[in-house]
Amino acid sequence: MTAPTLSAARSSAELIRAEEPVLAHNYHPLPVVVARAEGTWVEDVEGRRYLDMLAGYSALNFGHRHPALIEAAHHQLDQLTLTSRAFHNDRLAGFAEALAELTGQEMVLPMNTGAEAVESGVKVARKWAYEVKGVPADRATIVVAAGNFHGRTTTIVSFSTDESARAGFGPFTPGFRIVPYNDLGALEAAVDETTAAVLIEPIQGEAGVIIPDDGYLRGVRALTDRAGCLFIADEIQSGLGRTGTTLAVEHESVVPDVLLLGKALGGGIVPVSAVVARREVLGVLGPGEHGSTFGGNPLAAAVGSAVVDLLRTGEFQRRAAELGVVLRDSLKALVGRGVVGFRSRGLWAGVDVDPAIGTGREISERLMREGVLVKDTHGSTIRLAPPLTITEEELRGALGSVEKVLSGIG
Ligand X SMILES: *Cc1c(COP(=O)(O)O)cnc(C)c1O
* 234 has catalytic annotation: yes
Q: Which is nearer to ligand X, 10 or 123 (CB)?
A: 123
- Residue 156 or 406: the one with the smaller Cβ distance to ligand X is 156
- Rounded Cα distance between 200 and 233, Å, is 5
- Using an 8 Å Cβ cutoff, are 297 and 82 in contact? yes
The 3-class SS string of 78-100 reads: CCCCCCCCCCCCCCHHHHHHHHH
**Residue 170, Ramachandran bin (φ over 0: left; ψ between -120 and 50: alpha; else beta):** beta
Has 263 been annotated as catalytic?
yes
Q: What dihedral do alpha carbons 232, 113, 368, 319 form, nearest 10°?
A: 60
How do beta strands 349-353 and 381-384 pair?
antiparallel
CB 298 within 8 A of CB 91: yes
Given the residues 62, 133, 159, 234, select the one marked as catalytic.
234
Nearer to ligand X, 110 or 358 (CB): 110
Q: How far is the CB of 375 from ligand X (least distance, A)?
A: 12
Catalytic residue list contains 95: no
Taking CB under 6 A as the rule, does residue 237 contact ligand X?
yes
Residue number, 236 or 390, with CB nearest to ligand X: 236
Distances in whole angstroms, Cα of residue 351 to Cα of each of 208, 257, 341, 376 = 8, 32, 6, 9
| Counts of helices then strands in the chain (DSSP H, E) | 15, 15
Our finding on whether 115 is near ligand X (CB under 6 A) is yes
The number of residues that bind ligand X (CB under 6 A) is 15
**Cβ–Cβ < 8 Å for 139, 194:** yes
CA–CA distance, 57 with 178 (Å, rounded to integer): 25
x-marked contacts with ligand X along 195-224 as a string, rule CB under 6 A: ------x---x-------------------
119: contact with ligand X by CB under 6 A: no
Residues in 318-347 that interact with ligand X by CB under 6 A: none
Per CB under 6 A, contacts with ligand X among 239-298 are 262-263
Q: Of the residues 62, 95, 149, 231, which is catalytic?
A: 149
Is there binding between residue 149 and ligand X (CB under 6 A)?
A: yes
* Contact code string over 82-101 relative to ligand X, x by CB under 6 A: --------------------
Which residue among the candidates 263, 294, 342, 376 is catalytic per the annotation?
Answer: 263
What is the binding site for ligand X (CB under 6 A)? 57, 113-115, 118, 149-151, 201, 205, 234, 236-237, 262-263
The catalytic residues are: 149, 234, 263
